[in-house]
């Protein structure tokens, strides 16, 4: 079956036999649905051995002679017809385009090439060598007569001037008579009789052919059952095709219009210049005539053999499949060929052919050869005629050069010049190639000498072919195996026997071909012949014998691809492309182009498994020598595609482009790719293949969807075999299309057209409508965010004004995740849960409302029925043209809950076009029933831009909702195109888009709206603003709400309406200028005691229950504190501007919590318990967020410091002598000028000061103040307050003493200063509210940590000693002020508006311990300590029990009594004795033992170097009692004064304290050992010495007391100096 | 038409840099030809690879021809291919252009952040190419 090129050439140049058959004979054949010629066609091969003698007498074997039978009156079709038939032929072999054009192995791809390789075998052997006269036995007249009459017909035909058959050798025409015998219809005897009669008349050249011997059973199936092969399958695929193919053969010869006028024979092969001479009869004494065939019939191009001959890279499978297909086609036609033929008949036919060849044809040829040889030998003596010699001299222009067409000399058909050529032809035909080749060459020389260029070229061509066939004939290879192997190796490996000559011959042959083509082209202008020669030559060039010169073969083919015929050019170009693709495999001896070219194809297709070509040196080296030229091939394929499309053969064009694209694919040749895509798209759309068209156009528009294949080579694979995620390659590698916008607009237009086409097709075909996926606009990965449970009306924060009611901002797309992290919503929620439910679930999952690529998306979010799910998508337009989108909506799919309903999935994806969206969409697709989507009417994406789109969907049913993508319509932006195409796209590429939203349970149908009234947007630090929160139950299912909580990360900023019952107004006493009141620590009427037991985490308030909140109607909340459906609740709220923020905007946040008060709650909690069984988490609470920005201005700074002293008992202050000096420093630190966007405080007025403490109250005396305190910018004021200890020794732990003093004289105390405050203690008190005030024995109880962070921090220190901190003051000084604030609103205009208003605010300083100076930095409240720290401290801590020294320092205060000035006459007495009374005061809560020691040593040595000592002297002695031990009860002073006596030696100023030390310790019997305070060393305040001028502190190290190690030596500053004056 | 189309092709036949140089006096009137030059350049790669093994020179001179378009090539030692599709013959200029461009490319590829075979997107590189083209080709 395998056909090598030589067989192919032999076959195409097989001898032609003309056939004429009688009508009756044809009828016999027609029983088989075959003509006689067709009947013979499969068997037209010599199957037996034959041999002939060449003129030299040598016997030459003839093998496998192939004959071609041809109707004698066959007339080539006229040129236009021929051209059309070529078209048809090409078109009729449609490449079955796979739906996916990228599939390369198109089995039909090669068939065209087959067509092409075969079409121009014309007129070389136009002479019919033999003549079959066929008659039938069934003639009415006798067979002989019939044969004779047929013969006459032939003669008549021959006598015609044009169109008749041309005889090879006019003088002797071989005649062979065949008598057909139809076995089925006549008796064999009659046939025998007729045949013998014929035999008598015609002699040996007769044959009786019996056919139709098979008995027909009437069933065509017998044919196959009996195993009869349908021999005609490969030959006659379809009648029409066959005709076309036949005609195709002539296309080229008639192609050139210039040659139309002359008989085509004239410009063809030289022998046939003239018509056959009419005098056949005379010459032929024998009545047998020898018609010479005039036309070469090729094998049918679709036969598998020829396919093999072609360079096709087809594999066997595809061949088989194609064969099968043709078989099936034929069978489909229901034409059963050969139905009447039995195997014997087939054998008969074969025998007839053999008989014809051996007995008639070969002897005839032998005879002819002899004749010709003799003629040539006779002429040899004459050498060259003078004429030709001169001709050569003058007209010896070399052929092949460009020049005007040289008039060619044509010879008469029997001209002697042609004799040699004819001899060569005969030898060639019979396979005697060496002789033929020689003969051709000598003929060529003759023709060249004569200037008969056409003949010359023909001879050249044939010489080349003959040489090729000679060196590749099977005989040679058998006789000389080394030679054959040498052929296989090619030029490189040509070593042994015959190799060199073979090589030379090959070179020569190639030269011949080249010259021949050039002569045809340039000299003769016979493109058709040139084409033929080229095709043959390329065939030869590809063989290893010629060196596998693929490039040259391709070049020769391309050379022929001229402008004149698109189709021919296309065929040639494609052929050239294939030549370039196939490459030689050096080690193969036989030609296996098939496999090699498949390899080439495989190496081409980058998508295959083969690793990407690594450009190492080895492969490169190979590529240099033997690699195919795929890139060149691709170019030619593109060109071929172009020509095909110009010629109107779109399927082929499409195929070519698709083939070429494989080379370009994914390499980044974008312009080329675009061109190919565009061409493919257009072709596909013309071919009504909208899928392919749409695919191509979408590739055209999209920024390359798949990254170039080499990218994967770069990215280091992450150790495992995980596929490289597409996102890893990233958008960085996506090249932007660099087409100009106009081009992109065209692309878009075509793309839309294709989509419309596709849709039309889809709607015709199936009811299933799937949305096309459009490449543009792209959805930015990771930009998709899903928002659940947003407030019904989208909050727009820009439009809110302070006065207006403002809805809670909730969660919006604007809120950033990082911000959330700062605020810590999750922590807040946890706190809220803790507060509301008492515990946090084991696996606490914070409620997520906004899902983005950074959130944990492993759990599908839970949406609420009736509440919209918002999806934000960023659309990206990579093109340079605007993209108008309209009707943008979400695509979703809904799966109902499995237990409730049968799982019928409803989705919106099928709602494709407009009508179905509107009509069916409502019913069939569940739109409006299952879910409701919001349709965005239209947007226009600007060129190369991003735009964010928010789409919403509202689930209306329970179940699983899957959002699959977005659908939109894309219309053409170009104004010329008005028809907006309705297109949709679903993008499934983004996994993020797959949001599963479970519809909620009933519990979830609760909703609370939170609105704010008068939320401040700009605050001065410390400013207090009052506003209202309105809570409203807006749930659909009318369930009451309960457990309203609110939490904030900044607890010191907010205060919610506390019950006024905290303030006990009745107790308000006014003493002097100070108002005293008691503040209850807990509400009076504690109706919800249980709830109160549960400590609230910091920053969490419970709303509604114990607040002064009111319902709409003014009524209080229910007893169960439920918020009924539709009810509202107004809660007052105070906002205090956080301090220490400087000038910046601060984000304040609130998180509201609520849950449904329903019996369902029980069920929910059960479910929660069962959450270990992995049941779906069902949240039973909901949250509302609010977060807003406040512009801050830090203006007022307050420092405070407290010092204790024992003074006289002030009137009205009870009996305790303890008093407290509070030093305050207030500074207005606002900038002095107004800057844009930043406010300033131009004036701060003090309004009132309050002290909140358990024991301390302001002294009733009014502090000394200027009349009006007005602090301008950067001014400060110092204030001194005096407080005294309340006489109430057993204070009510639940109430706090609250003393208030009016600082502003102009104000009346009765007038409410701040219009927002309802009570004068509100809101000052809550803000300064410290739970630990009076918390002794109450630690860990309610609201232990509400309060300032700083204080909480300090609390950890002080309270750590388990209330053992006796020095603690636990006092908070609150200073309230009003400030004139100027805000410079940032206006757009040049002049900025300055807004002025009075702001009311407060600052507080907590004074904890006496000796502390809390006025340092951390007394500025509301510092930037984040709340998380405060929660840390909320834990009951185990800080070291060791009390810090400085806290202990003020355990004991003293009062020293002595005359300040003593006048003493030292002359009178050398010593001045001064009595000093010391009264000790225990300010702590502990029983202390105090030891007073005086020292005779110590003191400062007098500085001798200085004349004047700035310090008071310590040079004195204590005399008399020098020590004392005193027991001091808590808060008690020593019963009697300790009397000491100091002796002063000289006048001067003495520091009494210099030799006085006091040690104290706790009374051990009262406290446990571990509470014992111990101190290793006394505090020596040496460092302070320099700073404290005028007073001396002495740390007397030597003063060891007998109090023991655990005693504390207390050294304090004594401001008491005695002045001794000499009298 | 003095138009030069310059192209750097990576190891995977991927263009990593492309640029078109036109004489200043001529306006680019042929947007539609741009894909053709890509086709030509791509097809020439076959021949460039072939030529690369026939000569030791980096400059391969004119390796291919398509209609009136010539393709000159230059191959670096790391087998990065420079192509120039042009019409007028300008051997010396092209040689100089290539060798200087080679230098520019070497410098660029030494950038540790540049990965071989990836696109070159660098304004400085483009400027340099433009400058060299003006110097040797169009100017």
Identify the residue among B20, B45, B46, B116 best suited for mutation to test binding to A, counting A beta carbons within 10 A and taking the highest: B46
| pLDDT tens-digit readout, A426-475 | 777 766 777 777 777 777 777 777 666 777 777 777 777 777 777 666 54
What residues pair up with A960 in beta bridges, in sequence order? A895, A998
Q: Distance of alpha carbon A963 from its chain centroid, rounded?
A: 18
Of A936 and A1362, the one with more pLDDT: A936
Query: In angstroms, rounded to a whole number, what is the distance separating the alpha carbons of residues A742 and A881?
Result: 8
Between chains, do B53 and A624 touch, taking CB under 8 Å as contact?
Answer: yes
Tell me, what DSSP letter sits at residue A1217? -
Are A1317 and A1326 spatial neighbours (Cβ–Cβ below 8 Å)? no
Helix (H) or strand (E) holding A699: helix A690-701
**Average per-residue pLDDT for chain A:** 59
Contact between chains at A710 and B52 (C-beta distance less than 8 A):
no
What residues are paired with A1100 via a beta bridge?
A: A1047
pLDDT of A1454 > 60? The answer is yes
Give residue A803's pLDDT: 46
Q: Examine the pLDDT at B21 and tell me if it is beyond 50.
A: yes
The arrangement of strands across the sheet holding A1041-1047 comes to: A1018-1020, A1181-1193, A1145-1156, A1041-1047, A1100-1102
Query: Above pLDDT 70, what percent of chain A?
Result: 35
- In chain B, residues with a C-beta closer than 8 Å to the C-beta of A631 are 13, 42-46
**A970 vs A1291 pLDDT, higher one:** A970
From the CB of residue A704, how many other CB atoms can be counted at a distance below 10 Å? 18
Whether A714 and B39 lie within 8 Å, measured CB to CB: no
Residue A120, C-beta contacts closer than 8 angstroms, at least 6 positions apart: A249, A251, A252, A253, A528, A531, A532, A535
Instruction: Provide the β-strand partners of residue A1252.
Output: A1298, A1372
* Reported pTM: 0.54
Per DSSP, what are the bridge partners of residue B75? B81
Choose the closest CB to B35 out of A580, A623, A671: A671
List of chain A residues whose C-beta atoms are within 8 Å of the C-beta of residue B40: 635
> In what helix (H) or strand (E) does residue A595 lie, and over which residues does it extend?
helix A593-604
**Residue B103 has what pLDDT?**
92
Residues 6 or more apart whose Cβ sits within 8 Å of residue A7: A64, A305, A309
- Buried b or exposed e, range A991-1005, using 16+ CB within 10 angstroms: ebbebbbbbbbebbb
How many Cα atoms sit within 13 Å of A1623 on the Cβ side?
A: 11
* Residues of chain B found within 8 Å of residue A740, distances taken between Cβ atoms: 31
CA dist A1497 and A259 (Å) reads 146
Residue with token string 């009786």: A208
Residue of A627, A672, A713 lying closest to B42 (CB–CB):
A672
Q: How many residues does chain A have?
A: 1623
The pLDDT assigned to A596 comes to 36
Pick the residue from chain A with its C-alpha nearest to B34. Answer: A671
Q: Can you give the pLDDT at residue B102?
A: 92
The answer to whether the CB atoms of B14 and A668 lie below 8 A apart is yes
Question: What pLDDT sits at residue A659?
Answer: 80
Cβ distance of B46 and A743 shorter than 8 Å: no
CB A931 within 8 A of CB A921: no
High-pLDDT (> 90) share of chain A, %: 0
Q: Which residues contact A1446 (CB under 8 A, 6 or more apart)?
A: A1409, A1411, A1412
Chosen from B15, B34, B36 to mutate, greatest number of chain A CBs within 10 A: B34
DSSP string, A717-735: P-SS-PPPPHHHHTGGG-P
Q: Which residues of A198-231 are buried (b: 16+ CB within 10 A; e: fewer)?
A: bbebbeebbbbbbbbbbeeeeeeeebeeeebebb
Contacts for A332 with CB less than 8 Å, ≥ 6 apart: none
Q: Which tens digits make up the pLDDT trace of A922-939? A: 334 555 667 777 777 778
Tell if the CB–CB gap between B12 and A667 is shorter than 8 Å.
Answer: yes
Helices vs. strands in chain A: H and E counts, helices first: 43, 52
Q: Among A627, A672, A740, whose Cβ lies nearest the Cβ of B38?
A: A672
Out of A782-786, A852-856, A900-904, B15-19, pick the least confident. A900-904
With CB atoms and an 8 Å threshold, state whether B42 touches A713: no
**Which ipTM was obtained for this model?**
0.89
Q: Which chain A residues touch B10 with a CB distance below 8 Å?
A: 710
C-alpha angle with apex B83: B77 to B84, nearest 5 degrees?
140
Are the Cβ atoms of B12 and A672 closer than 8 angstroms? Answer: no
Tell which residue, A107, A109, A102, has the closest CA to residue A666: A102
- The answer to whether A330 and A235 have CB atoms below 8 angstroms apart is no
Cα A716 from Cα A1070, distance rounded (Å):
82
Burial B59-81 (b: 16+ CB within 10 A, else e): bbebbbebeebbbbbbbbeebbb
B31–A740 CB contact, under 8 Å: yes
Cis-peptide, bond into residue A281, ω within 30° of zero: no
Q: Which residue has the tokens 């349908």?
A: A230
Kindly state the DSSP code that residue A123 receives in the 8-state scheme.
Answer: G
What's the pLDDT band for A339 if we cut at 50, 70, 90? low
Residues whose CB falls within 8 Å of the CB of residue B87, separated by 6 or more in sequence, listed in order? B1, B2, B3, B68, B69, B70
Size of interface A-B (CB pairs under 8 A): 83
Mutate to test the interface with A, among B9, B42, B47, B71 (most CBs of A within 10 A): B42
Q: How many other C-beta atoms can be found within 10 angstroms of the C-beta atom of residue A78?
A: 12
CA distance A178 to A39: 13
Q: Is A996 helix (H, G, I), strand (E, B) or coil?
A: strand
Q: B137: distance to nearest CA of chain A, Å?
A: 24
pLDDT score, position B106: 92
Stronger pLDDT, A1302 or A600, i.e. the higher one:
A1302
Mean pLDDT of B90-116: 89
Say whether pLDDT at A118 is over 70. Answer: no
Q: Which one, of A840, A836, A828, lies nearest residue A1051 by Cα?
A: A828
Cα A1310 from chain centre? 70
Residue B44 CA to residue B70 CA, distance in Å, equals 10
**Would you call A268 helix, strand, or coil by DSSP?**
coil
**Is the pLDDT assigned to residue A1464 strictly greater than 80?**
yes
Per-residue confidence band for A912, with pLDDT thresholds at 50, 70 and 90: very low
Q: Give the nearest chain B residue to A551 (CA atoms).
A: B47
Instruction: Give chain A's contact residues with B (Cβ, < 8 Å).
Output: 580, 612-613, 615, 620-621, 623-625, 627, 629-632, 634-636, 638, 663-664, 667-672, 674-675, 708-710, 713-714, 733, 735, 740, 743
Contact B46 A632 (CB under 8 A): yes
Residue A1528: the pLDDT is 75
- Burial code (b: 16+ CB inside 10 Å, e: under 16) for A401-411 equals eeeeebebbbb
CB-CB contact of A1008 with A1045 (8 Å): no
Enter the DSSP assignment of A917: I
- Indicate if the pLDDT at residue A1494 is higher than 70: yes
**Interatomic CA distance for residues A843 and A556, integer angstroms:** 79
What are the pLDDT digits (tens) for A1029-1040? 777 777 666 667
The pair of structure tokens assigned to A1066 is 């009745």
SS3 label, residue A1205: strand
- Count the alpha carbons within 13 Å of A306 in the hemisphere toward its beta carbon: 22
DSSP string, A766-787: -S---PPPP-SSEEPTT--EEE
Distance CA A580, CA A629 (A): 5
Distance, CA of A617 to CA of A603 (rounded, Å): 17
**Nearest Cβ partner for A674 among B16, B35, B50:** B35
Is the dihedral angle over the CA atoms A128, A132, A133, A136 positive or is it negative? Answer: negative
Q: CA nearest B53 in A: which residue? A: A624
């Amino acid at each position: 079956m395998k056909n090598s090129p030589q067989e192919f050439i032999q076959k195409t140049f097989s001898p032609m036999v003309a056939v004429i058959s009688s009508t009756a004979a044809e009828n016999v054949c027609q029983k088989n649905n075959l003509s006689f010629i067709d009947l013979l066609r499969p068997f037209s091969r010599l199957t037996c051995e034959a041999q002939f003698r060449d003129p030299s007498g040598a016997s030459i074997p003839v093998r496998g002679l192939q004959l071609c039978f041809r109707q004698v009156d066959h007339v080539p079709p006229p040129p236009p017809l021929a051209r059309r038939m070529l078209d048809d032929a090409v078109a009729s072999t449609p490449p079955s385009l796979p739906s996916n054009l990228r599939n390369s192995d198109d089995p039909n791809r090669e068939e065209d090439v087959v067509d092409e390789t075969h079409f121009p075998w014309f007129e070389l052997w136009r002479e019919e060598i033999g003549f079959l006269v066929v008659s039938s036995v069934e003639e009415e007249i006798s067979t002989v007569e019939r044969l004779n009459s047929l013969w006459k017909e032939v003669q008549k035909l021959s006598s015609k001037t044009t169109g008749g058959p041309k005889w090879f050798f006019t003088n002797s025409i071989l005649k062979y008579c065949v008598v057909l015998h139809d076995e089925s219809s006549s008796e064999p005897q009659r046939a025998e009789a007729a045949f013998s009669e014929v035999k008598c008349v015609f002699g040996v050249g007769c044959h009786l052919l019996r056919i139709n011997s098979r008995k027909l059973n009437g069933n065509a199936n017998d044919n196959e059952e009996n195993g009869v092969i349908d021999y005609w399958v490969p030959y006659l695929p379809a009648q029409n095709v066959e005709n076309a193919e036949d005609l195709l053969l002539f296309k080229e010869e008639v192609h050139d219009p210039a040659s139309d006028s002359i008989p085509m024979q004239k410009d063809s092969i030289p022998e046939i210049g003239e018509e056959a001479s009419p005098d056949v009869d005379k010459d032929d004494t024998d009545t047998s005539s020898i018609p010479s065939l005039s036309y070469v019939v090729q094998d049918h191009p679709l036969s598998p053999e020829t396919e093999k001959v072609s360079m096709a890279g087809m594999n066997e499978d595809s061949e088989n499949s194609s064969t099968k297909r043709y078989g099936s086609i034929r069978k489909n036609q229901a034409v059963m060929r050969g139905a009447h033929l039995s195997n014997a008949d087939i054998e008969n036919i074969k025998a007839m052919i053999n008989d014809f060849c051996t007995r008639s044809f070969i002897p005839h040829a032998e005879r002819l050869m002899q004749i010709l040889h003799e003629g040539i030998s006779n002429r040899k003596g004459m050498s060259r005629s003078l004429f030709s010699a001169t001709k050569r001299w003058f007209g010896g222009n070399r052929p092949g050069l460009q020049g005007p067409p040289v008039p060619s000399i044509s010879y008469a058909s029997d001209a002697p010049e042609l004799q040699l050529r004819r001899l060569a032809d005969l030898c060639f035909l019979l396979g005697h190639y060496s002789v033929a080749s020689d003969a051709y060459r000598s003929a060529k020389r003759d023709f060249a000498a004569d200037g008969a260029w056409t003949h010359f070229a023909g001879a050249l061509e044939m010489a080349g072919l003959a040489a090729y066939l000679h060196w590749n004939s099977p005989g040679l290879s058998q006789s000389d195996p080394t030679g054959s192997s040498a052929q296989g190796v090619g030029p490189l490996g040509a070593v042994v026997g015959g190799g060199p000559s073979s090589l030379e011959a090959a070179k020569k042959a190639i030269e011949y071909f080249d010259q021949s083509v050039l002569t045809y082209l340039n000299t003769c202008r016979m493109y058709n012949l040139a084409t033929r020669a080229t095709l043959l030559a390329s065939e030869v060039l590809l063989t290893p014998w010629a060196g596998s010169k693929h490039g040259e073969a391709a070049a020769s083919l391309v050379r022929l691809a001229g402008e004149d015929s698109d189709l021919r050019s296309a065929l040639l170009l494609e052929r050239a492309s294939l030549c370039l693709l196939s490459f030689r495999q050096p080690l193969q001896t036989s030609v296996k182009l098939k496999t090699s070219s498949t390899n080439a194809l495989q190496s081409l297709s980058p998508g295959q498994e083969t690793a990407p070509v690594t450009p190492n040196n080895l492969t490169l080296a190979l590529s240099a020598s033997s690699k195919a030229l795929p890139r060149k091939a691709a170019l030619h394929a593109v060109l071929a595609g172009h020509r095909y499309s110009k010629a109107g053969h779109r399927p082929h064009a499409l195929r070519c482009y698709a083939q070429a694209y494989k080379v370009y694919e994914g390499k980044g040749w974008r312009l080329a790719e675009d061109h190919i895509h565009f061409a493919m798209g257009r072709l596909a759309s013309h071919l009504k293949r909208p899928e392919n068209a749409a695919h191509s156009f979408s590739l055209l528009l999209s920024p390359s969807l798949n990254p170039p294949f080499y990218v994967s080579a770069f990215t280091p694979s992450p150790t495992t075999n995980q596929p490289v995620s597409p996102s890893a390659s990233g958008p960085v590698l996506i090249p932007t299309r660099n087409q100009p916008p106009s081009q992109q607009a065209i692309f878009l237009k075509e793309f839309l057209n294709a989509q419309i086409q596709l849709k039309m097709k889809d709607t015709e075909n199936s009811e299933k409508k799937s949305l096309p996926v459009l490449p543009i606009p792209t959805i930015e990965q990771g930009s998709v965010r899903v928002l659940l449970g947003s407030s019904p009306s989208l909050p727009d924060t820009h439009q809110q004004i302070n006065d207006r009611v403002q809805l809670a901002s909730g969660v919006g797309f604007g809120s950033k995740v990082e911000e959330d992290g700062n605020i810590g919503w999750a922590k807040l929620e946890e706190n809220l849960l803790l507060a509301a439910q008492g515990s946090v679930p084991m696996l606490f999952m914070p409620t997520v409302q906004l899902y983005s690529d950074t959130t944990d998306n492993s759990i599908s979010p839970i949406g609420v029925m009736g509440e919209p799910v918002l999806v934000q998508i960023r659309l990206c337009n990579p093109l340079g043209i605007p993209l108008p989108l309209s009707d943008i909506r979400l695509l979703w799919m809904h799966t109902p809950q499995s237990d409730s309903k049968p799982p019928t999935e409803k989705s919106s994806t099928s709602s494709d076009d407009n009508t179905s969206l509107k009509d069916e969409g409502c019913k069939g697709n569940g739109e409006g029933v299952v879910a409701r989507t919001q349709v965005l009417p239209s947007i226009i994406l600007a060129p190369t831009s991003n735009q964010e789109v928010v789409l919403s969907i509202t689930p209306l049913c329970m179940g699983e909702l899957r959002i699959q993508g977005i659908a939109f319509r894309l219309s053409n932006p170009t104004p010329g195109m008005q028809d907006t195409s309705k297109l949709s796209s679903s993008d499934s590429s983004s996994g993020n888009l797959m949001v599963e939203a479970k519809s909620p349970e009933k519990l979830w149908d609760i909703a609370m709206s939170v609105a704010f009234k008068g939320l401040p947007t700009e605050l001065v630090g410390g400013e207090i603003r009052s506003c209202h929160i309105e809570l409203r139950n807006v749930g659909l299912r009318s369930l009451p709400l309960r457990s309203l909580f609110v939490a904030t990360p900044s607890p010191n900023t907010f205060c919610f309406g506390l019950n006024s019952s905290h303030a006990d107004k009745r107790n308000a006493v006014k003493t002097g200028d100070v108002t005293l009141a008691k503040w209850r620590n807990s509400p009076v009427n504690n109706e919800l005691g249980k709830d109160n037991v549960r400590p609230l985490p910091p920053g969490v308030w419970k709303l509604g229950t114990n607040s002064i909140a009111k319902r709409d109607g003014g009524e209080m909340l229910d007893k169960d504190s439920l918020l009924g459906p539709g009810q509202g609740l107004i809660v007052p709220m105070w906002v205090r501007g956080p301090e220490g923020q400087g000038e910046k905007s601060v984000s304040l946040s609130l998180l509201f919590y609520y849950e449904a008060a329903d019996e369902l709650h029980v069920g929910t909690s059960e479910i929660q318990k069962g959450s270990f069984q992995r049941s779906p988490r069902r949240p039973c609470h909901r949250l509302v967020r609010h977060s807003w920005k406040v512009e801050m201005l830090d203006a007022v700074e307050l420092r405070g410091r407290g010092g204790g002293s024992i003074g006289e008992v002030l009137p009205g202050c009870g009996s305790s002598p303890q008093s407290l000096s509070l030093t305050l420093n207030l500074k207005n630190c606002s900038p002095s000028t107004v800057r844009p966007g930043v406010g300033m405080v131009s004036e701060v007025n003090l309004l009132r000061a309050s002290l909140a403490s358990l024991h301390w109250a302001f002294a009733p005396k009014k502090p000394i103040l200027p009349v009006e305190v007005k602090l301008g910018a950067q001014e400060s004021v110092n204030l001194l307050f005096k407080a005294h200890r309340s006489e109430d020794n057993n204070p009510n732990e639940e109430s706090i003493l609250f003393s208030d003093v009016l600082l502003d004289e102009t104000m009346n105390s009765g007038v409410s200063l701040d219009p927002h405050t309802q009570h004068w203690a509100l809101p000052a008190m809550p803000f300064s509210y410290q739970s630990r005030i009076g918390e002794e024995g109450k630690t860990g109880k309610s609201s232990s940590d509400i309060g300032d962070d700083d204080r909480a921090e300090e609390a950890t220190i002080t309270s750590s000693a388990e209330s053992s901190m006796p020095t603690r003051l636990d006092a908070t000084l609150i200073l309230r002020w009003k400030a004139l604030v100027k805000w410079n609103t940032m206006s757009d205009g040049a002049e900025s508006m300055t807004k002025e208003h009075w702001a009311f605010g407060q600052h507080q300083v907590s004074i904890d311990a006496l000796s502390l100076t809390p006025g340092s930095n951390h007394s500025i409240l509301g510092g930037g300590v984040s709340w998380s720290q405060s929660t840390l401290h909320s834990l009951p801590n185990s800080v070291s029990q060791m009390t810090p020294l400085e806290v202990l320092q003020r355990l004991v205060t003293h009062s020293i009594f002595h005359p300040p000035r003593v006048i003493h006459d030292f002359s009178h007495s050398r010593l001045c004795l001064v009595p000093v009374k010391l009264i000790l005061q225990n300010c702590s809560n502990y029983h202390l033992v105090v030891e007073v020691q005086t020292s005779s040593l110590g003191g400062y040595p007098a500085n001798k170097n200085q004349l004047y000592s700035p310090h008071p002297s310590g040079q004195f002695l204590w005399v008399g009692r020098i020590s004392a031990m005193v027991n001091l009860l808590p808060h008690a002073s020593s019963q009697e004064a300790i009397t000491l006596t100091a002796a002063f030696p000289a006048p001067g100023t003495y520091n009494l304290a210099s030799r006085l030390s006091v040690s104290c310790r706790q009374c051990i019997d009262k406290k446990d050992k571990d509470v014992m305070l111990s101190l290793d060393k006394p505090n020596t305040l040496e460092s302070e010495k320099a700073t404290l001028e005028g007073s001396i502190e002495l740390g007397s190290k030597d003063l060891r007391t007998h109090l023991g190690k655990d005693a504390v030596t207390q050294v304090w500053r004594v401001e008491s100096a005695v002045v001794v004056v000499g009298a | 038409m003095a138009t030069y189309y310059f192209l750097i092709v990576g190891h995977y036949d991927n263009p990593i840099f492309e640029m078109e140089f036109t004489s200043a006096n001529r306006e680019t009137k042929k947007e539609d030809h741009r894909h053709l030059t890509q086709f030509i350049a791509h097809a020439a790669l076959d021949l460039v690879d072939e030529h690369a093994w026939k000569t030791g020179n980096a400059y391969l001179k004119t390796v291919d021809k398509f209609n009136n378009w010539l393709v000159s090539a230059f191959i670096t030692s790391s087998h990065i291919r420079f192509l120039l599709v042009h019409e007028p013959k300008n051997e010396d200029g092209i040689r100089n252009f290539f060798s200087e461009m080679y230098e520019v490319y070497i410098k660029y590829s030494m950038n540790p952040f540049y990965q071989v075979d990836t696109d070159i997107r660098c304004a400085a590189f483009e400027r340099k190419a433009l400058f060299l083209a003006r110097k040797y080709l169009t100017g």
